[in-house]
Amino acid sequence: DTEVTQTPKHLVMGMTNKKSLKCEQHMGHRAMYWYKQKAKKPPELMFVYSYEKLSINESVPSRFSPECPNSSLLNLHLHALQPEDSALYLCASSQVRGYGYTFGSGTRLTVV
């Protein structure tokens, strides 16, 4: 298995909702990442997990809460989002200090 699987592919949520994005990989990668991508912009790093521990938080607002329950799973919990948080959320994985990242196809999030 050489894929990163993200679910759901599309999500529409209200500003008072709580939802979660899920990311899964079975390549034995011990580093996992969340990126946010606005339309026609490059991906922006949000969080990095290494060996299931949060190693980088790029000053992301607390309404985004990441979780890495095991070495194959990465979640992003969403609460009280704003319309400007609407974007494509990408998950990626790699070997720790590895050269090739594998990205999922993303979850397209719309906040209404």
Kindly list the residues in this chain that would bind another protein in the complex (CB under 8 A): 4, 31, 33, 42-45, 48, 50, 55-56, 90, 92, 96-106
Q: Toward another protein, which CB reaches closer, 15 or 56?
A: 56
Distance of alpha carbon 89 from alpha carbon 96, whole angstroms: 21
For residue 48, the minimal CB distance to another protein (Å) is 5
For residue 31, the minimal CB distance to another protein (Å) is 7
- If you search the block for the tokens 């899964």, which residue do you land on? 24
Distance of alpha carbon 49 from alpha carbon 60, whole angstroms: 14
Distance of alpha carbon 103 from alpha carbon 101, whole angstroms: 6
Q: Toward another protein, which CB reaches closer, 36 or 78?
A: 36
Q: Toward another protein, which CB reaches closer, 15 or 96?
A: 96
